[in-house]
């Protein structure tokens, strides 16, 4: 290429790489593999295991202490692998929880119990053994924070049983903090990154003047690690007590000197602690008008929030999350006042919560650590403009979103700073931190002058569209100060051509969808379940010794649907199963406890001898075919019987001792933990058991399980009809209830939307979907409405008008998107209950199959034991698509019911009627998070030929399964009539049988990544008779 202006020659290097399955590289599974990139890849894999809490770089330090990332022999020749595993560590790892080993199998395809000690030469296996050994003691001895190094060094010495080894660990840890260490690829070069960093400082009255100086010194140390300027990283500050007392935005501090001087002289006032106000202020600072580079390619936003108070955060966090998606948030609690659950609300990951019980002096050790956390955040890169990258030994990770055609991606990388640069480039469509040891493709580029590389790739796991591309670029010591321009896009659009293949490829054809032959294992259930209706062929709730989250959820769902009259708390039942036995996956803490919930024999005997519980025996027989008084202790190994025994015993406790605490927030969870320790476990050391309950529930909630509904992806239209004919106090309770329900969901245009209307003797306070795209808009509108304490002359007329208003064109309900749940939530008092649903009002719900799901909440403020509010309502609406609840405790009970109602809305399947099947006669897509499900219900119309239907489905990731049932509203692998695997990258034909009334079907994701699923429902080609009950 000749430049006509100066006639100098520039040489361009153009390379072509095609990524196929054989190009995938994984040195973590190669015995004897060594080096920092291998260690980094292994540690990235460990983060996929939910049972492994953050290790604060301990695993990296351990590998470097033992073998310098495998580059030197272990000090003890009997030890194996990069992590220096000895026989004792390997044996201890084999006793670790079954749930962790199941996660390792699910996520990494490694059956740890099948490995031998000789297998520890494989880096991943060595690391798993070391980490599982730590897991066995982590509840009582958690891994210390990153700094000071002495804490982890002492931890290491204790584990090794030799305190003299602490010095070696300290040396290794300090070496890994040295940016000049040639073995180190883990240290991020913060000065070369672009970050918008907000530090929020607590200046309340509980912070002394000396502690305030420590807080500001920490901030100065943190920000010194970055290059502050308008074109590099930017910084902003918020100081708060009961109000925001000082703030700067991202336009005001344009240099490191300005930041240091400003922070050193920050004002301190002293006052209360209002975290919500500070968080709402933070949402405003993360905006383009305040200098934040929102959405700009190559820039990430981060916040460090410090407080020593036990303040509430929920409202502020919701505002912040809605305004700043993708924000990296670190939460620091000083002393014992901050509540861990409030800090978990703030932090973007549980590992970003720091509880510094030793006080403000601990902050000074964490400045450099936080610099690394903020620096390490992968940033999204737009594909429409080149991204500038300053590369070094630590790979710069780039994420290019939603590649529309990943079979034809072009990438140009140009050295922009100087010649003689060497760049190592690696990429992946499925792993977020690729490097030269673990990737789906890689290339080393050696530039004699400016250079260019072309990558044209195909994904490893078969998806073809809308996949993110993760790419890393790094250099070595021979290429200091190199910068690159990276551009990603469609190859042809970028003017990139590829030489045609030398051989003629075979003609391509589009295969017809075929029945999925890869079926899930079906286990025949025992004969114990003899109730009415079509029963599921797979019912693990009736098989002795079955375990797992899905089994627990199936039991809990059965108990809830059985209408036995038992007092019920679905969330606590799930928590108890996890605390007692990791959902049956781990040995019981107490040897005399049996089954998933750890029932003791005396608890079963009490449930059979307590005369007050005799009223449940007949309903149990009718619902499950179980003669409760004939159950013996050996049958407690059956999950359903174990769950029934648990629930009966808890009912005895509630009726004779105390009610179950609701367990909301840290205080409520602590009360629930004490209840569990005292009444269920009957431990001599109640405090220790309560602490175990508290810790395990927090860990479970942070990691997420199948018991937690996926509010983030619960795409819904929520239409609230609110009875405003109440006094002002009850009005405020109602408005707070509505907002608390909505806050559980992600309020966003393409996710969950909310519309509302208030009524007395007239309609008012309309809010259409287009007016409430964000939670803040919704909060402002609902809070501004006033109730009139006036009863409607005809409540039914008002209901019909409300319904018509919500369905109007102005509201723009997403009727055409059949994967969006559309629900009416009616909150009404019991004053004129009989008028709520007359024949005309009920006709709306019976004939309208577009808004088919209805939640009715009847608030019986009059505490009338003879109240017929709920029966009156439920008799007049189609119960197959609706459900309701009467709150005999009045509005005081309504105030506590938001969590329960939100969960009911979230779990309710999406309704499909045969007459609207044409809505599905084109592709519909939705996202399923890891360990989550999406459930539909298809109603049978016996007079129509459109009953029989087929489903064609494809998915972007491995691990998606299809389950269906005629009986269970949420079929899973534990409870279903049929199942199949949905294969990624190809169309799978799913053919559930015709059920007599309704067919429930679920898509479940057990893969390592969120899965995008595309489905089409079509009328079956031939009419088939429904199954007979």
pLDDT tens-digit series, residues 55-101: 778 898 999 999 999 988 887 888 999 999 999 999 999 998 888 88
State the first-to-last Cα distance of the chain, in angstroms, to the nearest integer: 78
Least confident of 263-267, 286-290, 931-935: 931-935
State the pLDDT at residue 517. Answer: 33
Residue 380, φ and ψ in degrees, nearest 5: -75, 140
State the pLDDT at residue 357. Answer: 74
Residue 754 β-bridge partners: 718
Least confident of 234-238, 342-346, 578-582, 937-941: 937-941
Q: How confident is the model at residue 480 (pLDDT cuts 50, 70, 90)?
A: low
- Distance, in Å, from the CA atom of 750 to the CA atom of 76, rounded to the nearest integer, reads 58
Q: How confident is the model at residue 196 (pLDDT cuts 50, 70, 90)?
A: very high
Highest mean pLDDT among 117-126, 201-210, 890-899: 117-126
Least confident of 212-221, 282-291, 513-522, 624-633: 513-522
- Give the position of tokens 């399964």: 961
- Distance, in Å, from the CA atom of 557 to the CA atom of 714, rounded to the nearest integer, reads 19
User: Tokens representing 7?
Assistant: 């006639």
- Distance, in Å, from the CA atom of 634 to the CA atom of 533, rounded to the nearest integer, reads 28
Residue 871, SS3 per DSSP: helix
Residue 202, SS3 per DSSP: strand
Is pLDDT above 60 for 170?
yes
Within 10 Å of residue 259's Cβ, how many Cβ atoms?
27
Q: How does strand 821-829 pair with strand 716-723?
A: parallel
Q: What is the DSSP letter of 915?
A: G
How high does pLDDT run on average in the chain?
Answer: 75
CA dist 11 to 414, 448, 451, 561, Å?
12, 8, 7, 72
N residues, the chain: 1029
- Give the position of tokens 């039942």: 573
User: Tokens representing 59?
Assistant: 């695993």
Q: How confident is the model at residue 863 (pLDDT cuts 50, 70, 90)?
A: very low
The CA-based diameter of the chain, rounded to the nearest angstrom, is 102
What is the value of pTM for the model shown?
0.54
Is pLDDT above 70 for 481?
no
CA dist 323 to 279, 343, 748, Å?
11, 19, 10
Do residues 429 and 925 touch, judged by C-beta distance below 8 A?
no
Buried b (16+ CB within 10 A) or exposed e, 15-34: eebebeeeebbbbbbeeebb
Q: How confident is the model at residue 746 (pLDDT cuts 50, 70, 90)?
A: confident
- Distance, in Å, from the CA atom of 877 to the CA atom of 329, rounded to the nearest integer, reads 46
Do residues 483 and 390 touch, judged by C-beta distance below 8 A?
yes
Do residues 203 and 350 touch, judged by C-beta distance below 8 A?
no
User: Tokens representing 755?
Assistant: 């519309």
Within 10 Å of residue 53's Cβ, how many Cβ atoms?
17
Count the alpha carbons within 13 Å of 361 in the hemisphere toward its beta carbon.
1
Highest mean pLDDT among 255-259, 672-676, 789-793: 255-259
From 462, 321, 333, 455, select the one nearest 400 (Cα to Cα).
Answer: 455
Q: How confident is the model at residue 755 (pLDDT cuts 50, 70, 90)?
A: confident
pLDDT tens-digit series, residues 815-832: 666 677 877 787 877 544
- Distance, in Å, from the CA atom of 118 to the CA atom of 864, rounded to the nearest integer, reads 72
Is pLDDT above 90 for 128?
yes
Q: What is the DSSP letter of 356?
A: E
Least confident of 216-230, 393-407, 1003-1017: 393-407
From 322, 193, 206, 188, select the one nearest 269 (Cα to Cα).
Answer: 206
- Distance, in Å, from the CA atom of 85 to the CA atom of 121, rounded to the nearest integer, reads 9
Residues with Cβ within 8 Å of residue 254, at least 6 apart in sequence: 228, 229, 230
Do residues 971 and 536 touch, judged by C-beta distance below 8 A?
yes
Is pLDDT above 60 for 440?
yes
Within 10 Å of residue 793's Cβ, how many Cβ atoms?
11
User: Tokens representing 374?
Assistant: 């903020």
State the pLDDT at residue 56. Answer: 73
From 717, 700, 710, select the one nearest 773 (Cα to Cα).
Answer: 717
The counts of H helices and E strands in the chain are 28, 36
Is pLDDT above 60 for 510?
no
- Give the position of tokens 């303040």: 311
Residue 427 β-bridge partners: 441, 471
Provide DSSP, 979-1010.
Answer: EEEPPBTS-EEE-PPPPSSEEEEEEEE-SSS-
The residue among 364 and 791 whose pLDDT is bigger is 364
Percentage of the chain modeled with pLDDT above 90:
14
Q: Which CB contacts under 8 angstroms, 24+ apart, belong to 831-836?
A: 831/725, 831/791, 831/861, 831/862, 832/791, 832/792, 832/795, 833/858, 833/867, 833/868, 833/869, 833/872, 833/873, 834/868, 834/872, 835/792, 835/794, 835/795, 835/796, 836/795, 836/796, 836/799, 836/872, 836/873
- Distance, in Å, from the CA atom of 733 to the CA atom of 117, rounded to the nearest integer, reads 61
Residues with Cβ within 8 Å of residue 758, at least 6 apart in sequence: 722, 724, 764, 765, 785, 787
Do residues 157 and 164 touch, judged by C-beta distance below 8 A?
yes
């Amino acid at each position: 290429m000749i430049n006509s202006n100066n006639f100098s020659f520039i040489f361009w290097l153009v390379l072509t790489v095609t990524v196929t399955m054989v190009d995938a590289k994984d040195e973590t599974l190669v015995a004897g593999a060594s080096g920092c990139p291998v260690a980094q890849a292994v540690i990235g894999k460990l983060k996929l295991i939910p049972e492994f809490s953050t290790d604060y770089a301990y695993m990296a330090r351990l590998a470097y202490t033992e073998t310098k990332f495998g580059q030197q022999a272990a000090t003890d020749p009997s030890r194996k692998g990069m992590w220096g595993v000895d026989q004792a560590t390997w044996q201890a790892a084999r006793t670790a929880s079954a749930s962790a080993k199941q996660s390792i199998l699910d996520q990494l395809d490694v059956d740890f119990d099948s490995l031998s000690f000789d297998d520890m030469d494989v880096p991943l296996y060595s690391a798993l053994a070391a980490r599982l050994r730590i897991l066995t003691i982590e509840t009582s001895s958690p891994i210390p924070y990153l700094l000071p190094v002495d804490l982890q060094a002492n931890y290491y010495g204790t584990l090794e049983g030799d305190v003299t080894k602490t010095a070696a660990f300290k040396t290794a840890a300090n070496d890994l903090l040295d940016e000049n260490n040639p073995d180190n690829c883990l240290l991020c070069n913060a000065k070369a990154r672009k970050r918008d960093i907000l530090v929020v400082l607590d200046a309340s009255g509980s912070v002394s003047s000396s502690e305030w100086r420590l807080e500001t010194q920490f901030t100065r140390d943190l920000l010194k690690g970055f290059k502050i300027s308008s074109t590099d990283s930017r910084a902003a500050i918020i100081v708060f007590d009961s109000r925001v007392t000082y703030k700067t935005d991202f336009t005001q501090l344009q240099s490191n000197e300005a930041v240091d001087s400003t922070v050193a002289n920050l004002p301190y006032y002293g006052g209360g602690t209002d975290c919500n106000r500070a968080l709402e202020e933070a949402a405003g600072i993360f905006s383009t008008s305040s200098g934040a580079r929102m959405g700009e390619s190559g820039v990430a936003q981060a916040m460090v929030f410090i407080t020593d108070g036990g303040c509430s955060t929920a409202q502020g966090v919701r505002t912040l999350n809605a305004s700043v998606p993708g924000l990296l948030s670190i939460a620091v609690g000083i002393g014992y006042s901050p509540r861990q659950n409030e800090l978990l609300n703030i932090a973007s990951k549980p590992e970003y919560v720091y509880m510094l019980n030793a006080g403000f002096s601990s902050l000074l050790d964490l400045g450099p650590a936080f610099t690394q956390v903020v620096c390490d955040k992968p940033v999204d890169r737009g594909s429409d403009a080149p991204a500038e990258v300053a590369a070094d030994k630590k790979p710069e990770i780039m994420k290019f979103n939603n590649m529309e055609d990943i079979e034809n991606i072009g990438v140009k990388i140009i050295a922009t700073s100087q010649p003689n640069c060497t760049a190592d480039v690696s990429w992946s469509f499925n792993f977020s931190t690729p490097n030269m040891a673990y990737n789906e493709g890689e290339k080393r580029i050696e530039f004699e002058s400016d250079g260019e590389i072309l990558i044209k790739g195909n994904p490893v796991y078969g998806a073809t569209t809308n996949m993110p591309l993760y790419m890393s670029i790094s250099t070595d010591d021979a290429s200091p100060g190199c910068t690159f321009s990276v551009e990603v896009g469609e190859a042809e659009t970028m003017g990139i051509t590829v030489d045609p293949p030398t051989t003629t490829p075979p003609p391509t054809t589009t295969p017809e969808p075929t029945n999925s032959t890869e079926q899930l294992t079906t286990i025949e259930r025992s004969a114990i379940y003899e109730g009415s209706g079509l029963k599921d062929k797979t019912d693990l709730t009736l098989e002795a010794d079955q375990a797992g989250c899905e089994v627990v959820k199936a039991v809990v769902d059965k108990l809830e649907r059985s209408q036995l009259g038992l007092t019920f708390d679905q969330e606590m039942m799930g928590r108890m199963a996890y605390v007692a036995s990791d959902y049956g996956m781990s040995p019981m803490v107490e040897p005399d406890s049996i089954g998933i919930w750890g029932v003791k024999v005396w608890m079963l005997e009490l449930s059979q001898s307590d005369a007050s519980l005799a009223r449940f025996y007949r309903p149990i027989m009718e619902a499950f075919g179980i003669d409760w008084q004939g159950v013996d202790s050996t049958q407690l190994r059956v999950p359903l019987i174990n769950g029934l025994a648990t629930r009966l015993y808890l009912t005895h406790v509630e009726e004779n001792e105390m009610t179950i605490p609701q367990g909301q927030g840290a205080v409520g969870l602590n009360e629930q933990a004490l209840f569990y320790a005292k009444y269920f476990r009957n431990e001599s050391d109640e405090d220790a058991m309560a602490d175990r309950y508290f810790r395990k529930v927090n860990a479970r909630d942070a990691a997420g399980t199948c018991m937690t509904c996926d509010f983030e992806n619960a795409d819904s239209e929520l239409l609230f009809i609110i009875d405003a004919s109440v006094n002002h106090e009850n009005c405020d309770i109602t408005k707070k209830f509505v907002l608390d329900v909505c806050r559980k969901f992600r309020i966003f245009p393409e996710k969950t939307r909310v519309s509302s209307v208030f009524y007395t003797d007239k309609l008012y306070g309309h809010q259409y979907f287009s007016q409430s795209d964000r939670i803040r808009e919704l909060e402002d509108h609902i809070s501004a409405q006033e109730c009139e304490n006036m009863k409607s002359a005809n409540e039914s007329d008002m209901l019909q008008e409300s319904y018509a208003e919500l369905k109007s064109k102005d509201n723009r309900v997403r009727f055409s998107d059949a994967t969006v749940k559309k629900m009416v939530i009616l909150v009404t008092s019991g004053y004129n209950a009989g008028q709520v649903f007359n024949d005309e009002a009920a006709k709306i719900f019976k004939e309208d199959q577009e808004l088919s799901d209805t939640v009715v909440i009847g608030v019986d403020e009059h505490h009338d034991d003879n109240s017929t509010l709920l029966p009156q309502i439920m008799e007049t609406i189609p119960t197959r698509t609706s459900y309701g609840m009467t709150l005999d405790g009045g509005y005081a009970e309504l105030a506590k019911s938001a969590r329960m109602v939100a969960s009911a809305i979230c779990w309710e399947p999406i309704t499909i009627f045969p007459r609207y099947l044409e809505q599905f006669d084109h592709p519909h897509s939705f996202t399923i998070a890891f360990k989550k499900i999406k459930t539909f219900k298809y109603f049978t119309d016996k007079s129509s030929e459109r009953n029989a239907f087929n489903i064609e489905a494809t998915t972007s990731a491995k691990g998606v399964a299809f389950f269906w049932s005629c009986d269970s509203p949420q079929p899973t692998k534990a409870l279903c009539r049929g199942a199949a695997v949905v294969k990624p990258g190809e169309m799978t034909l799913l053919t559930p049988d015709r059920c007599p009334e309704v067919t429930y079907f679920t898509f479940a994701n057990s893969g390592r990544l969120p899965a995008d699923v595309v489905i089409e429902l079509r009328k079956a080609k031939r009419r088939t008779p429904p199954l007979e009950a």
